[in-house]
Amino acid sequence: MSTQWNVRVGLDRLDEGARRSACEIIELAGGTVASDGLPCDMWLTSDPDGPPSSVRASAQVPVIVVGPAGSLRLPGDEMMLADIVASCEPSPVFSPDLIRIGCAGWQGGVGVTAIARALAQQIRSHPLPVLPQAPPPPVIVVDTAEYGPGVGAAQDVAADGIHWGDLRADETGWTGTLIDALPVRDGVKILAADCRGGPARSDTRLVRVLTSVSSRAHVVVDLGRWDEYAMRTASQCGIDALCLVGRADLDGVCTLMAGISRYAPPAVPVVIATTHGTTTQLLGSIRECGFQSIQAMQCPFRGGMPRGFAVKRMYAALRSGMERAR
């Protein structure tokens, strides 16, 4: 079983010769011909008016007209079509049977990395049901920090396997072999930075990698500090739930309110985990700002790791919210 991050091309009313030529070039260019009824990243059609609106999901999806009324001739313009397919940006497609959780802090140094790892262990221990005899999907922690190690820690960086520095920026997609090659700690796979660094804020690899692995594995994304970059990454990667971590003292409450007011979380279940202080004042401030659906709970630490009972409560709240949303 492999997963590819491919451009999906819809074919509409092409004659037999044009369809055969298009299918061959789309495959050679790294794309796939979309099945009927599935969303597409671009359309090839013989109709100057484009495909019917009933099958075209968005007016922003590019349409290439093939034939006398269009800009391409097939057979004939295969190289031009290959360039078009290779330059098209595919949109994310995620499996509803897999979990994608984002984890970020509204302050620095509050244990986001530790909580991300602990949530990944919870997913591994309590996965969603799968088909009989089907192997459970792997669980991956993806560290988005530009400078490592974060999630990885020293022993993970030294471990054999793929790190961010091994992924070329010019690659357009990654197969399931990427997942198989990641380092493993306590049964959880990890993609993190080593001495070569991780994804920069302008790095296009991040969304591409997350899109690829999220279609074959449960993923916990360590987003670092909650800011515009984390908000954009969470939205682009289609997370199902978000855990925000920080302190519930006066400074922490003010920082959180400023952060989520300016960088609103995506419309997914959100759990606030406070590592210090009570949640009473925090919840009151959250409600006053109009965030009625956000849950808050305490997450004490011991020995640098979140307490097990607190992580179980967080995961239960996140999973309950995801099940209601689905």
Residue 26 to residue 7: CA distance in whole angstroms: 9
Compute the average pLDDT of residues 50-65: 65
Q: How far is CA 149 from CA 163, 258, 326, in A?
A: 10, 28, 35
Bridge partners of 45, per DSSP, are 12, 65
For residue 101, is pLDDT > 90? Answer: yes
Q: Is 60 exceeded by the pLDDT of residue 163?
A: yes
195 or 139, greater pLDDT: 139
What is the distance, to the nearest Å, from the Cα of residue 185 to the centroid of all Cα atoms in its chain?
A: 21
Domain boundaries, the chain: 8-87, 100-325
**Contact present, 9 and 34 (Cβ < 8 Å):** yes
Work out the pLDDT band at 292, boundaries 50, 70, 90: low
Which of 192 and 2 is assigned the larger pLDDT?
192
| Residue 3 pLDDT grade (very low, low, confident, very high; cuts 50, 70, 90) | very low
Output 61 or 133, whichever has higher pLDDT: 61
Range ranked top by mean pLDDT from 3-17, 70-84, 170-184, 272-286: 70-84
161-175, 277-291, 295-309: the lowest-pLDDT one: 277-291
Model pLDDT, residue 60: 61
**Per-residue pLDDT tens digits for 299-326:** 888 878 888 888 999 889 888 888 777 6
- Domain 8-87 and domain 100-325, same fold? Reply is yes
Q: How far apart are CA 118 and CA 126, in angstroms?
A: 12
Average pLDDT score, the chain: 80
Q: Which residues pair with 194 in a beta bridge?
A: 197
Query: With 60 as the cut, is the pLDDT of residue 54 above it?
Result: no
Please report the pLDDT score of residue 152 as a whole number.
Answer: 47
Q: Is residue 205 over pLDDT 80?
A: yes
Cα-based distances in Å from 309 to 247, 271, 294, 316: 18, 15, 20, 11
Summarised one tens digit per residue, pLDDT across range 27-51 is 888 788 876 655 677 889 888 877 7
Query: What is the CATH architecture of 100-325?
Result: 3-Layer(aba) Sandwich (3.40)
Residue partners of 273: CB distance under 8 A and separation at least 6: 115, 243, 244, 245, 246, 296, 297, 298, 299, 306, 310, 314
pLDDT above 60 for 256: yes
57-61, 75-79, 254-258 — which one is most confidently predicted on average? 75-79
| CA 324 to each of CA 147, 278, 312: distance values in angstroms, whole numbers, following the listed order | 36, 27, 18
3-state class of 47 per DSSP? Answer: coil
- Classified as helix, coil or strand, 70 is coil
pLDDT at 174: 62
Q: Which of 62-66, 249-253, 280-284, 318-322 has the lowest mean pLDDT?
A: 280-284
Strand partners of residue 64: 44
From 1.10.8, 3.30.70, 3.40.50, 2.40.30, which CATH number describes the 8-87 domain? 3.40.50
Nearest to 215 by CA among 176, 244, 273: 176
pLDDT for position 297:
83
Q: Where are the alpha helices (DSSP H) in 73-185?
A: 78-87, 112-125, 153-158, 177-180
pLDDT number for residue 1: 26
Secondary structure (3-state) at 75: coil
Q: Which of 70, 20, 16 is nearest to 47 (CA)?
A: 70
Are 169 and 204 a contacting pair, CB within 8 Å? yes
Q: How many CB atoms lie within 10 A of CB 82?
A: 17
Residue pair 211/204 in contact (Cβ under 8 Å)? The answer is no
Beta pairing, strands 305-306 & 301-302: antiparallel
Average pLDDT over residues 60-67: 82
pLDDT band at 153 (very low <50, low <70, confident <90, very high): low
Pairing outcome for strands 184-185 and 139-143: unpaired
User: How high is the pLDDT of residue 157?
Assistant: 52
C-alpha span between 271 and 286 (Å, rounded)? 12
Quick one: pLDDT band at residue 185, thresholds 50, 70, 90?
confident
d(CA 278, CA 131): 42
Q: What is the pLDDT of residue 245?
A: 93
Which one, of 172, 41, 67, lies nearest residue 33 by Cα?
41
Q: What is the pTM of this model?
A: 0.69
Distance of CA 75 to the CA centre of its chain: 38
Band the pLDDT of 171: cuts 50, 70, 90: low
